[in-house]
Amino acid sequence: MDVILKDGSKIELPSGSSVMDAAKQISEGLARNTFAAEINGELSDIRDELQDGDSLNLLTFDTEGGKWTLRHTASHVLAQAVKRLYPEAKLAIGPAIDTGFYYDFDVETPFTQEDLDRIEAEMKKIVKEKIPLERFELTREEALKFMEEKDEPYKVELINDLPEGSRITFYRQGDFVDLCAGPHVTDTSKIKALKLINATGAYWRGDSSRKMLCRIYGTAFMKKDDLDAYLQRLEEAKKRDHRRLGRELGLFALMEEGPGFPFFLPKGMVLKNTLIDYWREIHKKYGYVEISTPIMLNRGLWERSGHWEHYKDNMYTTVIDDTDFAIKPMNCPGGMLVYQLEPKSYRDLPFRCGELGLVHRHELSGALHGLFRVRCFTQDDAHIFMTKEQMKDEIKNVVRLFDEVYSLFGLHYEIELSTMPEDHIGTEAEWEENQEILKTAITDMGKSYTVNEGDGAFYGPKLDFHLEDCLGRTWQCGTIQLDSQLPERFELEYTGADGAKYRPVMIHRVVFGSIERFIGVITEHFAGAFPTWLAPVQVKVLPITDRTKEYAEGIIEKLTAAGVRVEGDFRSEKIGYKIRETQMQKIPYMLVLGDKEAESGTITVRSRSRGDLGSVSFEGFMTELTDEIKNRINK
């Protein structure tokens, strides 16, 4: 039989050959490093049998599928180690994730760091034992009996939830067996470097009404150097944690009285409002008008938009005058009502309206995470109403806006196209047409994308923009959603050049995603050392003695008059202490003023990024500073 490789070439194999047989025919070295494969585009195990005419892509650790497979095997090694050391532990699930793997266990006492050290040592023993992983299948009845005999209730539940007729596969490694669909590597020795990161609590199947299990996180690599580099990045990420920096820099607070509802402090409000000022400036430049819609609207509106049916579990509701109301989880239905207020003609389109809308969404308490996952946030929304002929140009216009914004913060991005989900409204033909328009618009701009099958919004396909920060981490912030459905539901119209009535198409889009989340992202990206134009305090004035107090006050007055955000430190502390404290606050500039500066009318400048700049004229410093702020120069 013939099998077609990724480069289009063919190899001839005997009938019944597996993926591993194909890899060995190409080279023994490739076979040793092949962990999984894509057969006809589907992630598959190296043990899978090939058929005549199959397309085959062999996956090493350098590929996402290869990484996923090795780390999936590492999760089984973790489970085997736990069962060796804690035989009474019950197994739940253990998948690979983007950065490594985890496994959930039901244990009487949560694991401590000392436990993790023991488990990791046992995992390394299992790796050295070079235990083969063998796959086998059982019928549903056999599988249930097998897991019941092993007293694994969570596995029994998973088997019972599988659809009728499902293949029920297991993997055996020595004395350990786990229910698993795979894929897995050939043996445990393929895991060259591993590390357990931490242990946390996690509800079984993410349901807060179910039992809290103990989840152990870990990661695995092919090379120790790669593992060391990853662990170093983790340590750097801890230093940049926006929750810690938020407290230290006085930006925001998270309180027990309002889980998921952040409190913004004075300096945090300066940061937030500066971002909003920039948002308004860039949107005016790109032809948007700003609107504001109510935070609460009645059930009829949400039924009309489809949110009551598709999103109700995430909405906060109440009753007013015997009528159901919902606090808005998103701004778009209000934007529809604004469009309908006045008749529109083709000359009025595209109609671009932006809104900084406060939205509320119910998130599980276990999912809350600083500003990254909250229950209340300001969504920097915009809705663009247009003719079909304008769709492609408007998408490109949005992407150009995104490019300008993200480049200002030094954030690169990857684009992901999310296609039609099972829970959708509209015809497949409409979805296909809109997906094709999104693809064409961005490829015309020379941009590439990956496809995320089935993850579109219920009303339309979307382009998600995943931002990469200075540590190489990605954050999904911007999105462009193309929607033909809500204009239909709301019966939106415009008058064409021929006098007939037509239905507009709309784009939903955000650039920051939410102001709060974006603040979290850039706080970690800049490690709290925000560019001068964005910094809550731009200059700190430090008089050395009381004799220079009057001179310092004059400098502060001039800076304030020029629109600079400035603070003075007039405490009776040593200047070295004041300087160190200012450095800890990550303020871009500090001005050290002593008798010499007061007499000469100069200032001594210390820059956060460039160090001690020495004695300079105040006028020269002001010119450079105001230019840096006005032009949003990142230093």
pLDDT tens profile 60-75: 999 999 999 999 999 9
Residue range 164-223, pLDDT digits in tens: 877 899 999 999 999 998 899 999 999 999 999 999 998 898 887 889 999 999 999 999
- What is the C-alpha to C-alpha distance for residues 217 and 247, in angstroms, rounded to an integer? 27
Positions marked catalytic: 332, 361, 379, 381, 383, 462, 508
Q: How many CB atoms lie within 10 A of CB 229?
A: 12
What is the average pLDDT value for the chain, to the nearest integer? 93
The tokens describing 569, both together, are 């430190």
Residue 516: partners with Cβ closer than 8 Å, 6 or more residues away: 262, 371, 374, 377, 378
First CA to last CA across the chain, in angstroms?
62
Residue with the larger pLDDT of the pair 234 and 587: 587
pLDDT for position 51? 87
DSSP-derived pairing of the beta strands 2-5 and 351-360: unpaired
Say which residues have a Cβ less than 8 Å from residue 90's Cβ, sequence separation at least 6.
105, 106, 107, 151, 152, 153, 154
More confident of the two residues 130 and 256 = 130
Check residue 475 and give its pLDDT.
85
Least confident of 417-426, 542-551, 607-616: 417-426
Q: What is the pLDDT of residue 100?
A: 95
CA–CA distance, 310 with 297 (Å, rounded to integer)? 17
Strands (E), 390-544: 412-418, 450-452, 462-468, 474-483, 494-495, 501-502, 505-510, 539-543
> What does the pLDDT read at residue 41?
87
* Per-residue pLDDT at 48: 84
pTM of the predicted structure, to 2 decimals:
0.80
* Residue range 576-614, pLDDT digits in tens: 999 999 999 999 999 999 999 999 999 999 999 999 999
**Contacts of 39 by beta carbon, 8 Å cutoff, 6+ apart:** 19, 48, 50, 54, 55, 56
Nearest-10 crossing angle of helices 266-285, 515-525: 110
Determine the length of the chain. Answer: 635
Torsion sign across C-alpha atoms 470, 474, 478, 482 = positive
| Spatial distance between the Cα atoms of 260 and 359, rounded to a whole number of angstroms | 12
Q: Which of 515, 504, 511 is nearest to 384 (CA)?
A: 504
Taking domain 2-24+36-56, whether its CATH number is 3.10.20.30 is answered by yes
Q: pLDDT band at 231, cuts 50/70/90?
A: very high
In CATH, which superfamily holds the domain spanning 252-525?
Bira Bifunctional Protein; Domain 2 (3.30.930.10)
Q: Which residues, 6 or more positions from 577, have their beta carbon under 8 angstroms from its beta carbon?
A: none
d(CA 412, CA 472): 10
For 339-377, the DSSP string reads HHTS--BGGG-SEEEEEEEEEE----GGG-BTTTB-SEE
Q: pLDDT tier at 365 (50, 70, 90 boundaries)? A: confident
Question: Which strands make up the sheet holding 289-290, listed edge to edge?
Answer: 289-290, 351-360, 376-386, 505-510, 474-483, 462-468, 412-418, 450-452
Percent of the chain with pLDDT over 90: 75
Each domain of the chain, given as residue ranges in start order, spans: 2-24+36-56, 65-230, 252-525, 539-630
With beta carbons less than 8 A apart as the criterion, state whether 208 and 94 touch: no
What whole-number distance in Å separates Cα of residue 496 and Cα of residue 478?
32
CA dist 350 and 398 (Å) reads 12
Superfamily of domain 539-630: Anticodon-binding domain (3.40.50.800)
DSSP E strand boundaries for 180-227: 193-203, 212-221
Q: Which two tokens stand for residue 68?
A: 């996923």
Cα–Cα distances in Å, from 124 out to 151, 348, 448? 26, 67, 41
Task: Compute the average pLDDT of residues 324-338.
Answer: 92
Binned at pLDDT 50, 70 and 90, residue 428 comes out as confident
Does 635 have pLDDT greater than 80? no
Residue 175 confidence (pLDDT): 93
* Position 301 pLDDT exceeds 80: yes
pLDDT at residue 450 is higher than 80:
yes
Give yes or no for residue 329 having a pLDDT over 90: yes
Q: Name residue 241's amino acid.
A: D
Q: What pLDDT is stored for residue 272 in this prediction?
A: 97
User: What does the alpha-carbon distance between residue 68 and residue 187 come to, in Å, rounded to a whole number?
Assistant: 15
Q: What are the beta bridge partners of residue 463?
A: 417, 480
Instruction: Write the pLDDT tens digit of every residue in 483-496.
Output: 888 899 899 999 99
CA 450, CA 461: separation in Å to the nearest integer? 13
Question: What is the per-residue pLDDT across 376-388, written as a single tens digit (0 to 9) for each?
Answer: 999 999 999 999 9
- The residue assigned the tokens 């382009």 is 463
Share of the chain above pLDDT 70, in %: 100
Judge contact between 469 and 495, C-beta under 8 A.
no
Assign domain 65-230 to its CATH architecture.
Answer: 2-Layer Sandwich (3.30)
* Helical (H) or strand (E) element with 319: strand 317-320
Q: Residues 498-517: pLDDT tens digits?
A: 999 999 999 999 999 899 99
| Tokens read off for 576 | 């070295």
Q: CA-CA distance, 421 to 462, in Å (whole number)?
A: 11
- Contact status, residue 5 vs residue 56, Cβ threshold 8 Å: yes
